[in-house]
Each structure stands twice: as structure tokens, then as C-alpha cells.
Amino acid sequence: MKIPLNWLQQFISLTDISTRQLVEDISLAICEVENIISQSSFDVRVGEIKSIKKIEKSQKLLIAKVDVGNKQNISIIFGNYFEVKRGDRLPVAVAPTCLPTGLSISKKEIVGYTSDGMLVSDDELGLKLSDEGILRFSKKHKIGSNVLKLLGFQDTLDLKITPNRGDLLSIYGFARDLAAFYNKKINQVLIPALNYEQKNISRDLIIDLQAESVVNRYSAIKISGLKNINSPDWIQKRLLAAGFRPINAIVDITNYVMIELGQPLHAFDFEKISESNTDRGHISGSREIIVRRSKLNEHIHTLDDKKYLLPIGSVVIADHKKILALAGVIGSQNSSISLNTTQIVLESAIFDSILIRQTSKALNLITDSSQRFERKIDSELAVAALKRAVQLIIEICGGKITSELLDLKTKTKKIAEKITFSLNRFTKLSGIHISMNNAEKILRRLEFKILKKSKNNLEIVPPSWRHDILIEEDVFEEIERIYGFNLIPETLPNGQLSFKDPANNLKLENQIAELARNLGWNETLTFSFYSEPEVRISGIDKDKHLKLKNPLGPETSYLRASLMPGLLRTLERNINCPTDEISIFEIGRIFNHENSNFNEVLMLSGLRVSSHIDNNISQVRLLIDSILKIFNDEIGIKANDQKTADILVNDNKVGKITILQENILKSDRKQRKGIYFEITLEKLFQLTKKISKYIEQNPFPSLNRDVTYEIAEPLNLDQLIRPLSKKNMYLIRVALIDIFNLQNGRAVTLRLTYQAPDRTLTDEEVNNLHQDIIKSQITDGVKIKL
């Protein structure tokens, strides 16, 4: 919502408040101020044409040297739409800048010449002030002066009104709240009585209100004998400052009154409404406006020249042949006002907020009107706004009222709910101690009706425009914002602390991330979605993936069922980083389908790339072992083949390791190798061993014995080591000492450590045990090297 300050000051005097203070007060107590638009936001200057020449290669284009003040001469390329000659003073936009209409101007290269700005026509400026289509300045206007300043354009606040405060979507409504805040007087809008002579009234306008359940009020009036023109300057300038483009007086006035009071209005060209059938008892030449629900396959061709298929059940304003407007949203081209219009029907209605929201949402069509209806209109406003617009139209375009005021109400005026305000409760919730007297004063400033008053309670009714105030807490907010949030004291809560520990894995997750970091891994975070090609890379069935109903684009089509594609994306981005080794990991949730349920699982995935595959494996293994050690000692890696292996905890699969075969590595200049692993953290957390009691230290010495096995490929070390370590209770540790490659296999030296919990083992005992154990592992591919 754009609020020009001079328009605002028509209703409230702000001369004692600086713009800076005003902006701060509004931000704190009313709404966010997104921007202050000032004259200097638009660099449009009075420029004098110094020379003109034709651009050779072009039919229409000319280039001029223009003096724009401050000894600055710029080149402007323009079309020969206007008569421009040396010495003319014209509005010139100096790039880079933008115009009040939103048009942005930048330096441009055109057929080999540079244009440093633009001659600004009325159309581009957004005003229709000259007959010719461009403003001309006389010698008394100084070269270089700001054109918008000359036009009287003043500072405008660009406000972000929250959806609960529909009452602020008008200059008057905003001024009313500001007046309450500053405790100032508000100047009322004078609502004139409708003056018409009975002899002028014809009975040729009929309203048939069918969609009664969603139209709270429908008022209309007919004016004839109009001469539509361009609006006077003051209306045009105010509209432009408020972000509206002036069109013609009748349309401009409907917009003007909407901005001023908040009630959307619509004008139909009476003659463009189809004549109704006389067989329905209507007099010849009469027009019947039908307010009804839309049917299957109805279209509207809107004022802004777009076509929409209407959702069934939205409300349309129609005659018996065609649709004249989509109620509360936008008018149709077929009944629009032109400069030739002489008779109009002016509509002021209150449509149901939910209806308008649904229609606007279904068509993705948000208008100034629909926004206001969605946020609810002051129920008292419809007829007042209509009268205000009639007055302005007749003032500017002449004409006279030629129908009665048709005013159809479907709902009896809702009596606003009473709310009981308790001062004790206010203090208990806010922590503010104010007197009942002060609370009451604030509420009166906001125009609450006080019905009953006792020492601690007020019985109150909110004003008709405050649809957002329904319960006591809403009233508390009103008092707090006017009193000032920043005057509320700062305290710390007392009260009992809770000792329950809600199940949460975040601490474990953090522990793992820290461990990985300590081992040299970089933590990454990627989006939770990916594209169809990445579904294939994930290696997980497309059917198991969850698909978004409304993705932003192909990159967000599927929810990730694996963290791998994201890690590969990260790898690709960093493939040329200077280090040989890249170790990246992500901890995050993946998603999949299971029995038509949505499943989300916390995963750890990592990717390691370097020139040496063995180095990759041992680095990954170091990380996995270290992580599993935090949670549980019983780790195993079971190779399925040369490319994949399972990560086991107590023989439960918790993850996997795979050799990367992705194209990204195939094209790597350094010809590096990659390995990927993932662990389902939720499974791991479930298998976590908790220490319940410490185990007494073993005071007896341990003894080491080494053995070297010769293993034929493709046997995996894990297959040798893991069973070995479970052979005997006195064998407490098996450690890998050395590996070297043989002609067809490997020699592996292991160190076995023996210890008994209750005595010192003798050399002989250990020797025998050791021989038994190491021999038990001899199989086809495994023998002991002597």
C-alpha cells in the first residue's frame, strides 16, 4: 500500500512530526515501512535540447545532445513521435533511474549509439497532463530541476500491511489508526447527500441479486449525461503517487475513492449492458444486472485484455447475455468505461471475503479490489463510498443521477460481539502494569465502544472496521502496540523447569559431524529435492521416490531418497579445487514411500575422492569405525563383491560402501578414484550400547602373538578377521600389522592379544591357544606363512 504523505495529511496533521520519526512510529505500532519513495527516487529533469541529428541507419530514430544541468550534457536517442527542436525544454530521465510507473531506465546501445536516458512522455510518466503527450517547460523552469518536484510530487510511504489489517488499506483508514496512535484529531471525509430530482429518475436499472449467500450488500446507482474526460491534475498526481495509472475521470474516481476510503467501486457503461427482455415485465430499454454464481465453462475477457475460464461458483455480475465483471476482482472489457461513455452504473458492493479469496486464488489473479475484499471491508462503508464517488463524478464530468439508490442487503447488520477486558489478566500476560484509566483511554482512542466498566473489567465492542479483533488477547495487542512494545520491561521467566528429555537425536548428530570434521571431512548441506536424472543416479527406484505435486521446476521434482546425488553435485562443483583429496559428507533426512506412507529417515552419507583407492577405503573406514565406536563396538564390513560392501553392527546392516563409477570421475583430469558410503543413523542410534556400569580394569598382563596368513584373492580381510576375533574369550584383540601383495594374493600379518580376566596366562597356554585359533582359519584360500 502506497500512502502519499500529502494525501495522508488531508486527514491528519503531521507538521509536528519529522518523516523519520513518523516512519519509526509506524514501523513499531502499525505496520512495516518497506520504502520511502521521494521525488529524488526518480531522476527526471528539465533538460534543454542542444543539438539534434538523424541516425542514418534508422528511419525514425534521432539523437540529441541534452543539457540536464550541473554542466552535464548527455546523449538521448528518441523516436520522432513529438516535434522536438533545439532549445526545447523537456522532461528527461537520466539513467540509471526508474519512473513512478515502475519503468526502469538504463543506459542503452542502439544501432551503435549510446543513449544515456530517455525523453519522458506523459504516458511513460504516468500522467495525462498535456494535449501533445509530452510536457514542455518554459524558460522559467530551470534546467536540471526535478520534474516530479515541479509537479508537486511528495514523499510516499510504501507500506506492507499485514493480512489481518484490512482497515489500513485506505488513506483514511491509515490516518485513523495513526490518529489513535498520536492521540490526534482525524478530519472526516465529508459524505454528501445524494441530490436528485424525481423527474430525472427512470426505472430502467434493475438489480437481480441471486448469489445472496456470498454478497452481503449490493448498492448501485445510475448517472447520465456525463462527459468523460482526463482527470484533473490533482487526481492524476495523487493516483500516480499511490501507484495507480490514471486512465479517465470516471475510472480514476472509482480508484480514488477506493484508495481514500478502502471500498472498491466499479463503473459499468450503461449503454454496453444488454437491454433486458420486455417479456420479463421490464420497460423497454431497461438494463438488468444479475449478480449470480458462475456456471460451467464461462469465460471473462478482462479490462487488461486477458481471458480467464471462471471456476464454477465464483460470483459474476452479468446481464442476460454476457458477463460484465468478475465480482470483487475485475471488470470485463465489454462494459468498460471509455472517453465516449455518457451513462454509467456505479456499483459499490460487499462480497464475501472467502469467496473472493478462492476466486482470486483459483485464477491467480490478485487485484487492488480482490485484496481489499479478502481482508474484509468495513460494513458501514459501501453506501458512503458510493455517495463520495457520485459527488466527484458529477463535479468533474457533469451529469445527473437518473436512478434511485438501489441498496440490497442480504444480511441484517451483524451485532459485534462483546469482549470482556480484564486488567488483571492483561498484566498477567503482558508483564505491563498500567492503570485501568490508561487502558480505557487507549481503547477509546481506537474507537472501541465501552459498554460497562468496573474496577478490573471493561465490557467493550470493537469498531466496525476492526474485523481482526475477536478475543481478549486481540485487545491486549492493541493496548501494547499503542502503549509501546519497547516500554514493556525485560524479565526472565520463573517457574518450574522440566527434567524430561524428549527423544532427540540432534546431540548424537552433532557429535558425528564434529568427529568427521576432526578427521578431515567437510560437512555440506544440499537441498532436499532433486531432478529426474538424479533419481537415476541415486540408484533407487523411481517408484520409491516421493514426487512433489507443485515443484518449482525440474530440479525440485522429487524428494531425495538418497544423499548421493547432492554429494555428487558438490563434488562436481569442487572437482577443480587444488587438493588431491576431497572428503565431503552430509547429514540429512531422505524420503521414500513405504506402504503408501511418507517415510523420512536420518542419514549420514560421505564421499571421498583421491588418487589412491586404498587410501580412500582406509579413510572412509577410519571415519566409519570411529563413528561406530561412539555407539557400539561390534562393527563389521561385509563385501558383497568388489564394488559394494555392507556396514554391519551386531550383524544388522546399518549402511553400505560403494565404489564410485560416476561420469564426473571419468572425466576428472586428475583421474582420481572415489568411494561413497552411507549409514542410516536412526538404525545406528537404536543399536547404541549404553554404558550402565564401568568394567573393572583387568590387572593381569596381556600377551601378543603374531601370525602371517597368505590369502588368495578375492577373499576379503573382514572375512578373516571378524570370525577370528570371536574365537575365544581370552583373545581380546586382533589388529592388522602389515599387508603386502604376493604374486596371486596377499600376505597379512595380524597381531592377536590374549588376556584372562582372572589370572596370568602362561606362555605355554597362550602358545597352544594361539596355534589352535590361527589354524582354525585355514581354508582353501588361506594358509599360514611359516
> Shortest gap between Cβ of 734 and another protein (angstroms)?
24
The least CB distance from residue 550 to another protein, in Å, is 6
Nearer to another protein, 600 or 765 (CB): 600
52 by Cβ neighbours in 10 Å (0-12 / 13-18 / 19+) ranks as: middle
Question: Which lies closer to another protein via its Cβ, residue 87 or residue 502?
Answer: 502
Strands 61-67 and 44-54: antiparallel
| 189 or 515: CB nearest another protein | 515
At its nearest, how many Å lie between another protein and the CB of residue 371? 9
CB of 413 to another protein, least distance (A): 23
Q: Which residue type is seen at 436?
A: M
Beta carbons within 8 Å of 774's beta carbon, 6+ residues apart = 707, 709, 752, 784
CB 379 within 8 A of CB 464: yes
CB of 547 to another protein, least distance (A): 8
- The residue among 358 and 708 lying less far from another protein, judged by its C-beta, is 358
Q: Is 658 exposed, middle or buried (0-12, 13-18, 19+ CB in 10 A)?
A: middle
Comparison of 496 and 743: residue with beta carbon closer to another protein: 496
Round to whole Å and give the CA distance between 591 and 604.
Answer: 14
Sheet hosting strand 44-54, strand order edge to edge: 73-79, 61-67, 44-54, 89-94, 117-119
Q: Tell me whether residue 88 or residue 374 sits nearer to another protein (CB atom).
A: 374
Range list of β-strands (E), 57-166: 61-67, 73-79, 89-94, 97-98, 104-105, 108-110, 113-115, 117-119, 156-160
Q: How far is the CB of 146 from another protein (least distance, A)?
A: 19
Taking the least distance from each CB to another protein, the nearer of 571 and 752 is: 571
Cell output for 712: 588368495
Nearer to another protein, 520 or 714 (CB): 520
Residue 468 C-beta: closest distance to another protein, Å: 8
User: Least distance (Å) from another protein to the CB of residue 42?
Assistant: 18
Nearer to another protein, 102 or 495 (CB): 495
Structural contact between residues 431 and 247, judged by C-beta atoms closer than 8 angstroms: no
β pairing state of 522-523 and 582-594: parallel
Q: Taking the chain, what is the end-to-end CA distance rounded to the nearest angstrom?
A: 90
Cβ neighbourhood burial of 413 (10 Å; 0-12, 13-18, 19+): exposed
Beta bridge partners of 179: none
**Residue 242 Cα to chain centre, angstroms:** 24
Q: Which is nearer to another protein, 311 or 714 (CB)?
A: 311
Q: How far is CA 357 from the centre of its chain?
A: 18
CA separation for the pair 755, 762 (Å, rounded): 10
Q: Nearest distance from residue 776's CB to another protein, in Å?
A: 37
- Give the nearest distance from C-beta 447 to another protein in angstroms: 18
Shortest distance, CB of residue 214 to another protein, whole angstroms? 13
Q: Distance of CA 97 to CAs 69, 93, 104, 150, 415, Å?
A: 16, 7, 6, 18, 51
User: Quick one: which of 682, 655, 518, 687 has its CA closest to 588?
Assistant: 682
Residue with Cβ nearer another protein (457 or 574): 574
